[in-house]
């Protein structure tokens, strides 16, 4: 067996330090560059990352560097490589049986006739993956040479890397049954057929010179799959019995995002040569079968941006040494969850910078710990002390603890989380709002034009003053309100031109937060976000959205929604402090938003939407932790929204997660209207809504805004008709899946025109 390196990482940000890959992808999709230019640019991004990783201390020649590269997401890469393309796309492989780059983007983004693969959250993170559609008839063939080509490319550049693939068991756990599959069909049944192609891919990598391959089997740490754990363990046994032999590379089975529990026996007794463990979220496993394996300790948190404790990491590595003689140090997860480098953040305070570690700094920590492993812990005592001092300084820094905030959360009582009975509210809102059956609305944002972005950038650079900036935003709000009136929408929005991001905008107006300049992380495909940093106790600096909402409402007689981001989503899409319980942070945010909600109501806003698209995202992977999380998450939302009168209608919005498992909690939010992603899944969520007994207003989306497709009237009528099979016509709303920020105006106007017409036709049918 080839020796495993002492230091490594699970993965690295792959979008480029300056988001170069994002820009290349979007230029290629628009036809602004051809395939040759795209390939040259993408290759340069990959090679620059390899050189950077070597500069940071990962060895070029011993599989220390993971080859985790993608143009959209790692599950889509494997779907193409396995030839597991849903027949509905009508894609045809070439003479060699391979699919093209454009085929790859078709399953990711759809085309004129077909919606793309469904998209959902990667475990409990804010990263998204495309859900494979697997049925009894799904073909498995060697559909692309992506992994082999990337390995050879790196090898030609002088890097002996470790290719990274999603593991076979996790791939099938993350898949959904195809439309043609029998009811209840589990994709895991196709494991034997799948393994034939996996073996071909791995054999090809071994022939090309790969000594190690990393198979990410994070599905083995989660209880959130509707399948018997014993069946999964059997699948692990079967898979790694077949994926063994001298003709294959050594396998590192990587289990991130939690602790191996149900499947520890299967992994420990398998033929894999190394096991990667998330020791940030889980403890050191004890099993005699692990003694003969390389244990790769993920002691550096790959998901958050705090420097943490090197002393604590050192202790865990020593515990790991008591299980196996061969130990390596790594990150707990891929580093694509964090930005590239703190060194690029010159606007953050010096104190805050000293508390942080982004991807490059975390690699430095891994390398330091690796030196301690091989040279003795005394050799890194200075580095350990520096990190410990920074941690202690952080805990006592001004603003980290605000006694007034702590007193306010400590004084909460049950009435602070309650509103009047829903039927009382519904009656009051019918009188107040006078809406038609099947009311139409959008989720919040409208396309952000170049003019908006330029004005915002000029204001940030102080090239225009506050008055000029606000005038530019008011002009855009006026245009958006007029457009919605012309289109015939019933409940309007102001379009959010003043907001750079639905979380960052609020972070900039709340004490306890900091925002970055270059802290981009990939969300899906070319979509990147800049998570804010929640470092201290939270208070509202003053009204945040009230003036914009009041201005928009002054332009129309139709109701305009006040638009806020909910407490759980602000937490999920920020880097959250790790020194207090999540419940305390959720309540602090709930109270800050409560102040905003009550100010909106006092200003005459009759409909207020508090978005919680991430509430399912944070659901713990261990079932034993569900109840506590859902309790504080629901109560945080209710805290933010329970201070209004019966006639004020509270909306919320949920998207891009599997919601069936938490419909009880969604019901518990108590919102008067809940809009939810449903277009890509063809209204699958309606059965969950029906069976859960959900009795308030609900708007399952009829337009997938994450695809450039424009659904026509007939398609939206079909979706609404499907929704009416499980939702009463008095409760059904008509809306897109999500906000329209990433779409252009041509798509927006055409699709909203179709949406309003679809609602009109279905209303006419109901009236008849």
Q: Which of 567, 566, 591 shows the shortest CA–CA distance to 406? A: 591
3-state secondary structure of 702: coil
What span, in angstroms and rounded, lies between the C-alpha atoms of 636 and 652? Answer: 13
What span, in angstroms and rounded, lies between the C-alpha atoms of 40 and 31? Answer: 16
Per-residue b or e along 496-517, where b marks 16 or more CB atoms closer than 10 Å to that residue's CB = bbbbbbbbbbbbbbbebbbbbe
The four Cα atoms 656, 658, 663, 664 give a dihedral, to 10 degrees, of -120
What span, in angstroms and rounded, lies between the C-alpha atoms of 173 and 179? Answer: 17
Question: 577: number of CA atoms within 13 Å, CB side?
Answer: 25
Q: Which of 646, 673, 441 shows the shortest CA–CA distance to 559? A: 441
What span, in angstroms and rounded, lies between the C-alpha atoms of 81 and 208? Answer: 17
Cα angle 359, 363, 365; round to 5: 115
**659, exposed or middle or buried, with CB in 10 Å at 0-12, 13-18, 19+?**
buried
Which one is catalytic: 160, 494, 518, 706? 706
Q: Which of 252, 160, 159 shows the shortest CA–CA distance to 202? A: 252
Sign of CA dihedral 141, 95, 75, 112: negative
Task: Judge whether 426 and 731 are in contact, CB under 8 Å.
Answer: no
What span, in angstroms and rounded, lies between the C-alpha atoms of 600 and 127? Answer: 32
Q: Which of 531, 605, 527, 597 shows the shortest CA–CA distance to 569? A: 531
3-state secondary structure of 36: helix
**690, exposed or middle or buried, with CB in 10 Å at 0-12, 13-18, 19+?**
middle
Instruction: Provide the phi-psi class of 25: left if phi over 0, else alpha when psi is between -120 and 50, else beta.
Output: alpha
What span, in angstroms and rounded, lies between the C-alpha atoms of 738 and 723? Answer: 17
Contacts of 151 (CB under 8 A, 6+ apart): 67, 161, 163, 205, 208, 209, 210
What span, in angstroms and rounded, lies between the C-alpha atoms of 244 and 270? Answer: 9
The four Cα atoms 626, 419, 417, 628 give a dihedral, to 10 degrees, of -10
What span, in angstroms and rounded, lies between the C-alpha atoms of 502 and 444? Answer: 10
3-state secondary structure of 93: coil
Q: What is the DSSP code string of 497-519?
A: TT-S-TTHHHHTTEEEEE--SS-
Strands (E) in 579-663, as ranges, are 607-611, 649-654
| Number of other CB atoms surrounding residue 84 within 10 Å | 27
Task: Judge whether 665 and 615 are in contact, CB under 8 Å.
Answer: yes
Please confirm, yes or no, whether 706 is among the known catalytic residues.
Answer: yes
3-state secondary structure of 129: strand
Residues with catalytic function: 706
């Amino acid at each position: 067996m080839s020796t495993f390196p002492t230091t490594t990482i699970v993965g690295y940000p792959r979008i480029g330090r300056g988001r170069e890959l994002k820009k290349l992808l979007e230029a290629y999709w628009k036809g602004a560059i051809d395939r040759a230019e795209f390939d040259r640019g993408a290759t340069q991004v990959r090679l620059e990352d390899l050189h950077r990783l070597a500069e940071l201390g990962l060895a070029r020649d011993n599989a220390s560097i993971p080859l985790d590269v993608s143009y959209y997401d790692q599950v889509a890469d494997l779907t193409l490589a396995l030839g597991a393309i849903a027949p509905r796309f009508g894609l045809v492989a070439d003479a060699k049986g391979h699919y093209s780059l454009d085929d790859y983007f078709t399953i990711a983004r759809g085309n004129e006739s077909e919606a793309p693969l469904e998209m959902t959250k990667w475990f409990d993170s804010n990263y998204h993956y495309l859900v494979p559609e697997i049925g009894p008839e799904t073909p498995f063939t060697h559909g692309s040479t992506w992994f082999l080509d990337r390995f050879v490319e790196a090898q030609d550049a002088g890097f002996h890397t470790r290719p990274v693939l999603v593991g076979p068991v996790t791939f099938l756990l993350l898949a959904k049954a195809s439309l043609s599959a029998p009811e209840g069909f589990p994709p895991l049944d196709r494991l034997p057929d799948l393994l034939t192609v996996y073996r071909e891919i791995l054999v090809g990598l071994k022939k090309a010179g790969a000594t190690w391959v990393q198979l990410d089997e994070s599905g083995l740490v989660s209880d959130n799959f509707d399948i018997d754990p014993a069946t999964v363990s059997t699948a692990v046994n079967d898979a790694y019995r077949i994926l063994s032999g001298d003709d294959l590379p050594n396998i590192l089975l990587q289990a991130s995002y939690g602790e191996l529990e149900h499947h520890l026996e299967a992994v420990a007794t398998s033929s894999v040569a190394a096991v990667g463990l998330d020791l940030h979220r889980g403890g050191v496993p004890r099993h005699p079968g692990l003694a003969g394996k390389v244990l790769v300790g993920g002691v550096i948190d790959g998901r958050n941006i705090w420097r943490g404790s090197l002393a604590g990491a050192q202790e865990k590595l020593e515990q790991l040494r008591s299980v196996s003689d061969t130990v390596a140090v790594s990150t707990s997860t891929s580093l694509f969850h964090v930005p590239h480098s703190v060194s690029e953040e010159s606007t953050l305070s010096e104190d805050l910078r000293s508390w942080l570690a982004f991807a490059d700094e975390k690699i430095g920590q891994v390398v330091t710990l690796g030196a301690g492993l091989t040279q003795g812990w005394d050799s890194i005592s200075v580095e350990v002390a520096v990190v410990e001092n920074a941690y202690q300084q952080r805990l006592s820094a001004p603003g980290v603890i605000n006694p007034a905030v702590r007193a306010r959360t400590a004084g909460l009582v049950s009435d602070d989380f309650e509103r009047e009975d829903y039927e009382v509210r519904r009656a009051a809102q019918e009188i107040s709002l006078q809406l038609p059956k099947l009311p139409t609305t959008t989720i919040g944002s409208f396309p952000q034009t170049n003019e908006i972005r330029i004005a915002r950038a000029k204001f940030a650079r102080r090239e225009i003053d506050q008055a000029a900036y606000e005038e530019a935003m008011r002009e855009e709000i006026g245009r958006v309100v007029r457009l919605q009136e012309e289109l015939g929408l019933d409940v309007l929005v102001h379009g959010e031109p003043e907001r750079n991001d639905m979380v960052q905008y609020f972070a900039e107006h709340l004490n306890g937060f900091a925002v970055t300049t270059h802290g981009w992380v990939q969300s899906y495909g070319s979509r990147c976000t800049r998570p804010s940093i929640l470092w201290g106790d939270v208070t509202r600096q003053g009204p945040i959205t009230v003036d914009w909402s009041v201005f928009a409402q002054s332009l129309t007689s139709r109701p305009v929604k006040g638009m806020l981001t909910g407490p759980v989503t602000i937490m999920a899409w920020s880097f959250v402090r790790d020194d207090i319980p999540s419940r305390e942070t959720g309540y602090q945010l709930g109270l800050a938003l409560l102040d905003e909600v009550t100010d909106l109501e006092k200003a005459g806003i009759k409909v207020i939407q508090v978005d919680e698209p991430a509430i399912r995202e944070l659901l713990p992977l261990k079932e034993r932790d569900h109840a506590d999380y859902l309790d504080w998450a629901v109560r945080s939302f209710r805290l933010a929204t329970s201070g209004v009168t019966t006639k004020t209608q509270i909306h919320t919005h949920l998207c891009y997660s599997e919601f069936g498992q938490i419909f009880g909690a969604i019901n518990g939010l108590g919102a008067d209207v809940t809009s939810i992603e449903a277009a890509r899944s063809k209204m699958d969520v309606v059965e969950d809504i029906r069976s859960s007994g959900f009795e308030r207003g609900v708007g399952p989306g009829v337009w997938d805004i994450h695809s450039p497709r424009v659904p026509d009237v007939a398609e939206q009528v079909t979706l609404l008709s499907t929704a009416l099979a499980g939702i009463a016509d008095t409760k059904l709303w008509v809306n897109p899946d999500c906000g329209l920020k990433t779409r252009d105006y041509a798509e927006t106007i055409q699709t909203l025109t179709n949406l309003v017409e679809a609602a009109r036709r279905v209303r006419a049918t109901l009236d008849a």
